[in-house]
Amino acid sequence: MDRRLTGISASPGIVAGPVYVLHAGEEEAGIFEAQMLILQDTEMIGRVDGLIRQNLAAESAFEITMLDLRHHFARHASPMMRERVGDLADVQIRVLSLLLGLPDHDPVDVPKGANAILVTHDLTPSLTVQLDREAIAAIATDAGTRVSHVAILARSLGIPAVVGLRDATSRLKTGEMAILDGAAGTISVNPTAEEIRHFNERSQREAALTQELELLRSAESITLDGHKLVLRANVDFPEEADFAVRSGAEGVGLMRTEFLVVGRTTMPDEEEQFRAYKKVAESFDGAPVVIRTYDIGGDKLPVGGHPTEANPFLGWRAIRMCLDEPEMFKVQLRALMRAASFGDVRIMLPLVVSNDEVRQARVLLEEGSAELEARNVPHRKNIPLGVMIETPAAAVSADSFVGDASFFSIGTNDLTQYTLAIDRGNANLAPRFTPLHPAVLRLIQRTVQVGAANDIEVTVCGEMASQPLTAFALIGLGVRSMSVSPRSVTLLKRLVLGTTASVAAKSAVAAMEARTAAASEAIILQAFTETFGEVAELLDGLPHIM
């Protein structure tokens, strides 16, 4: 082996292939998005279409339209619009090259079948979603952590990924052969024969583990001391629903609807959203399907149209933005109420800090229902409305939602981020991002207690639920419902089947009393290892370190 790079395990799977370094930092990714925006512009498309209908060749029609737009933009009063001229020129050259059969200069242009390991500084959610899966087999990034959205998406898409490598883009070169091990979080460059042998062994072991876990698909998840756990799936795209059903999940605990929006120029209309939600609801045949309203903002921005903010994670996002844009929000609420006629759809509000947000959302739901009634559109009125507990404010005052919220779902990714004041996507802070910190555990326990006292279902849908070690702590805290990535459902069943809840509870209580995050982690790890003994390694077969 020539070199070995170690980062953060983001999505399991092992891949051997050529490295493809894409110098696409955040800024460059922004440029691609701006260029996609231009290409999706309906007015531009309409003009080109009009000229083609006047018998102009497609190349000429496109060139004339783009020249006209460049002329217009170059004279625009806004400096921001004038800056777009460069993008227009780039788009013009690339589209013309394609139309004329000339070589394309797409910086993400990896040939199909290349089985490449894409190495970049960072990837935005929208670029991740649009990667050509026939060309790119794995992702490696300098930035990011296990809970950054690129990592979450990579897991949803089943693309092996290592993030937080810090300097991979400067240490790796396009064309070098490498082995990326998503579970171990490593990249081995120019592997030796021994390394390749290890790769083959590892691939076989992963396949065997997958087979073993598959036998658990239809198993009930009950602890050794008789506690039933509900295991639902997190679904990021409607297309994932079928896979989630096959994984043995008892419904959807979190559908992240913002991924319907990222990477596009316009918001999906009521009809398009209705179809997406209906598809997921129907796939689950009556089991609960919890759909979260738009959590747009932070790093999940749709293309364009959003003001730049100094602190986007503390900014105008999620429920805040939705309540300030009621007409846009009501389109989503109407689509959700319509889809609820086809399954047990429940609505969940993200980033709530105060109960008035729930009440305001309910007023909009009622307005949306009246609008549907006026249009004679069938829908379900009395749809359960729950809140995500993902801010310290919501956890500490969980009791303030009693009577207004139908259920709680703990978002441990954000709850950890906001409790510890540690950016969840910052690779430099990854070792400090400790969901087993006693403060986080206490907030989870408090929420669970409020739920139990008031007969409110409490689910955990953050990454803590998808990882055996942290899920073990959650069982100990009294959590009895979890929503995990579809690929983790059977792994979690295996965990539950081997856990004694009272043993987990003892360690969770001790961990909450620990004085440091490290001490808390050590307590949980010890109980976990004692419980699973030899099979701890099996549970470790997929990554559990955050």
Give the active site residue among 121, 149, 437, 544.
149
Letters for 367-406 (x = contact with Mg ion by CB under 5 A, - = none) are: -----------------------x----------------
Count of alpha carbons within 13 angstroms of residue 402, beta-carbon side: 15
In whole angstroms, the minimum distance from the beta carbon of 360 to ligand PEP comes to 21
* 177 neighbors 458 (Cβ within 8 angstroms): no
Nearer to Mg ion, 125 or 411 (CB): 411
479 binds ligand PEP (CB under 6 A): no
Residue showing tokens 């007023």: 363
435 binds Mg ion (CB under 5 A): no
Please list every residue from 337 through 396 that binds ligand PEP, using CB under 6 A: 390
Letters for 147-186 (x = contact with ligand PEP by CB under 6 A, - = none) are: ----------------------------------------
In whole angstroms, the minimum distance from the beta carbon of 68 to ligand PEP comes to 41
125 binds Mg ion (CB under 5 A): no
Enclosing H/E stretch for 14:
strand 14-22
Question: Which is it for strands 3-6 and 136-141: parallel, antiparallel or unpaired?
Answer: unpaired
Nearer to ligand PEP, 17 or 315 (CB): 315
What tokens appear for 530 in the block? 């004692």
CA–CA distance, 477 with 460 (Å, rounded to integer): 11
Question: Which is it for strands 136-141 and 252-256: parallel, antiparallel or unpaired?
Answer: unpaired
What is the DSSP-derived secondary structure letter of residue 313? G
CA–CA distance, 538 with 439 (Å, rounded to integer): 29
527 binds ligand PEP (CB under 6 A): no
Residue showing tokens 């991924």: 259
252 binds ligand PEP (CB under 6 A): no
In whole angstroms, the minimum distance from the beta carbon of 427 to ligand PEP comes to 17
Quick one: 133 exposed, middle or buried, by C-beta within 10 A (0-12, 13-18, 19+)? exposed
295 binds ligand PEP (CB under 6 A): yes
317 binds ligand PEP (CB under 6 A): no
In whole angstroms, the minimum distance from the beta carbon of 298 to Mg ion comes to 8
Q: Is the dihedral of CA 423, 426, 432, 435 positive or negative?
A: positive
CA–CA distance, 234 with 99 (Å, rounded to integer): 41
299 binds ligand PEP (CB under 6 A): no
Nearer to ligand PEP, 295 or 357 (CB): 295
122 binds ligand PEP (CB under 6 A): no
486 binds ligand PEP (CB under 6 A): no
In whole angstroms, the minimum distance from the beta carbon of 99 to ligand PEP comes to 39
Which residue in the set 142, 195, 414, 463 belongs to the binding site for Mg ion (CB under 5 A)? 414
DSSP string across 160-185: -EEE--SSHHHH--TT-EEEEETTTT
In whole angstroms, the minimum distance from the beta carbon of 298 to ligand PEP comes to 8
Q: Which residue in 292, 350, 346, 348 sits closest to 320, CA to CA? A: 350
In whole angstroms, the minimum distance from the beta carbon of 419 to ligand PEP comes to 12
CA–CA distance, 454 with 407 (Å, rounded to integer): 10
256 binds ligand PEP (CB under 6 A): yes
Give the active site residue among 121, 322, 437, 461.
461
Letters for 458-477 (x = contact with ligand PEP by CB under 6 A, - = none) are: ---xx---------------
CA–CA distance, 129 with 140 (Å, rounded to integer): 15
* 342 neighbors 304 (Cβ within 8 angstroms): no
In whole angstroms, the minimum distance from the beta carbon of 357 to Mg ion comes to 15
Nearer to ligand PEP, 125 or 498 (CB): 125
What is the DSSP-derived secondary structure letter of residue 15? E
Nearer to ligand PEP, 169 or 273 (CB): 273
* 521 neighbors 434 (Cβ within 8 angstroms): yes
In whole angstroms, the minimum distance from the beta carbon of 149 to ligand PEP comes to 7
The C-alpha angle with vertex 181 and arms to 464 and 216, in degrees rounded to 5, equals 55
What is the DSSP-derived secondary structure letter of residue 302? P
240 binds ligand PEP (CB under 6 A): no
List, in sequence order, every residue forming a beta bridge with 457; answer none if it has no partner: 407
* 528 neighbors 508 (Cβ within 8 angstroms): no
Stretches 101-109, 369-377, 411-419, 467-475: which one binds ligand PEP (CB under 6 A)? 411-419
List, in sequence order, every residue forming a beta bridge with 5; answer none if it has no partner: 187
Q: Known catalytic residue: 149?
A: yes
- Spell out where 182-287 has E strands: 186-189, 230-235, 252-256
Which residue in the set 411, 425, 498, 543 belongs to the binding site for Mg ion (CB under 5 A)? 411
Considering CB distances under 5 to 8 angstroms, the limit depending on partner class, which of Mg ion, ligand PEP, none binds residue 462? ligand PEP
Q: Which residue in 142, 105, 151, 145 sits closest to 120, CA to CA? A: 142
Contacts of residue 107, defined as CB under 8 A and 6 or more positions apart, other chains included, come to: 22, 23, 24, 28
CA–CA distance, 454 with 456 (Å, rounded to integer): 5
Per-state percent for the chain, helix, strand, coil, to nearest 5: 50, 15, 35
DSSP string across 452-492: HHTT-EEEE-SGGGGSHHHHHHHHHTT--EEEE-GGGHHHH
Nearer to Mg ion, 350 or 498 (CB): 350
Which residue in the set 63, 414, 457, 521 belongs to the binding site for ligand PEP (CB under 6 A)? 414
In whole angstroms, the minimum distance from the beta carbon of 184 to ligand PEP comes to 23
Which residue in the set 156, 257, 413, 485 belongs to the binding site for ligand PEP (CB under 6 A)? 413
* Count of residues that bind ligand PEP according to CB under 6 A: 10
Nearer to ligand PEP, 273 or 412 (CB): 412
Q: Known catalytic residue: 306?
A: no
Which residue in the set 288, 411, 425, 438 belongs to the binding site for ligand PEP (CB under 6 A)? 411
Give the binding site for Mg ion (CB under 5 A): 390, 411, 414
Give the binding site for ligand PEP (CB under 6 A): 254, 256, 295, 390, 411-414, 461-462
Q: Which residues are catalytic?
A: 149, 461
